Amino acid sequence: MNLPHTPSPDIAPEWHLADIVEQLRTSREIEHKIRYLDRVRELPSREALVTVLDGLSAALFPTHYGRCKLTDDSIDYFVGNTLNATLNLLCEQVRRALYFSEAPDTHDKQNLQGKAVELTRRFAAQLPAIRAVLVSDLHAAYQGDPAATSISEILLSYPGIKAIIHYRLAHAIHKLGAPFLARLISDIAHSATGIDIHPAAQIGASFFIDHGTGVVIGETTIIGERVRLYQAVTLGAKRFPADPDGKLTKGIARHPIVEDDVVIYAGATILGRITIGRGSTVGGNVWLTQSVPAGTNVNQAKNQED
């Protein structure tokens, strides 16, 4: 067998880096420049955001995501210390993200720092309410999955809950005025779980995603309370309107409304600004582009009202 030739470890290969670096500079700075506003270099750090998400999760559920041997005497100290470090790190990421949502004439560092501090303070004040909604999601998972043996099992091993925790945090940040940062958080969750939830989507309490891989929830989706989704469900757009110049129109309502107590089974695709009425069930692999009234059972063969 002939093995491929490998250079001797004593001979340093020549990569002609000076020429390559110069060509990349020309591409980056002149020919193919993509820098925001032609000047913004300071971007939020995904690595820092992963640390932030770990810290926030530990503050919300200390013995599950923080330290397993916390006591009644030490747990509040742990939460306070973790939050202090995490919020300081988050504040810097918020400041960097505000370059992309604030008017260019407000981009001096002191102004953005002040806005970042205020946004982070308001976000921190929402954490107790966010935890309350997450507990409703945990109970929905426990009640909705016969395989679940405990809340702790769900917190530690269910990708759907991890995605929902990230979504709830990202949604709060999005509403407070840092959509770029929120989008990065949702992408971190997507990478970790295979579940893609846009942070602008509106999702009510007691939400459960079972299994979860391949679930997609679009930007303008509205989901009520006590809704359950299974893997590979898509709540997407049917079409993408464009302006007279052919550019996509941003921000219009183009995703489904799913009312309270709806169950959507694996592989269902629901597209457009349609409404799935309260208490309906959408079967597996259904392709749905029309609204259905409350209490409807939808399957591949027919739409049948109970």
DSSP per-residue string spanning 51-110: HHHHHHHHHHSIIIII-TT--TTTHHHHHHHHHHHHHHHHHHHHHHHHTTTS-GGG--HH
Q: Is residue 50 part of a domain?
A: yes
Backbone CA torsion sign across 169, 171, 175, 180: positive
> 16 in a domain, yes or no?
no
How many domains would you assign to the chain?
2
Give per-residue pLDDT as tens, 203-241: 999 999 999 999 999 999 999 999 999 999 999 999 777
Name the percent of the chain lying above pLDDT 70. 94
The verdict on residue 26 lying in a domain is no
Least confident of 142-146, 199-203, 249-253: 249-253
Write out the residue range of the structural domain in which residue 254 sits. 214-306
Which of 194, 227, 260 is the last residue in one of the domains? 194
**pLDDT of 14 over the 90 cut:** no
- CA nearest neighbour of 96 among 116, 80, 79, 120: 116
Of the listed ranges 21-35, 163-177, 184-198, 250-264, the one predicted with least confidence = 21-35
> Do residues 52 and 135 share a domain?
yes
Q: Are residues 183 and 282 in the same domain?
A: no
H/E segment holding residue 298 = strand 296-298
Residue 35 lies in a domain: no
Claim to verify: residue 165 and residue 296 sit in the same structural domain: no
Say what the pLDDT of residue 39 is.
67
Global pTM value: 0.88
pLDDT tens digits, residue range 157-200?
999 999 999 999 999 999 999 999 999 999 999 999 999 999 99
80 lies in the same domain as 143: yes
Query: At residue 121, what are phi and psi to the nearest 5 degrees?
Result: -65, -45
The CATH number assigned to the domain holding 278 equals: 2.160.10.10
**pLDDT tier, 262 (very low <50, low <70, confident <90, very high otherwise):** very high
Helix runs in the chain, H state only: 17-26, 46-60, 75-98, 109-125, 127-144, 151-157, 159-176, 179-193
Q: How far apart are the first and last CA of the chain?
A: 70
Total number of residues shown for the chain: 306
Structure confidence by residue, pLDDT tens digits, 89-142: 999 999 999 988 888 777 788 899 999 999 999 999 999 999 999 999 999 999
- With bands split at pLDDT 50, 70 and 90, how would you rate the model's confidence at 306? very low
Same domain, 218 and 304: yes
- Tell whether 269 and 301 lie within a shared domain: yes
Q: Which of 163, 194, 225 is the last residue of a domain?
A: 194
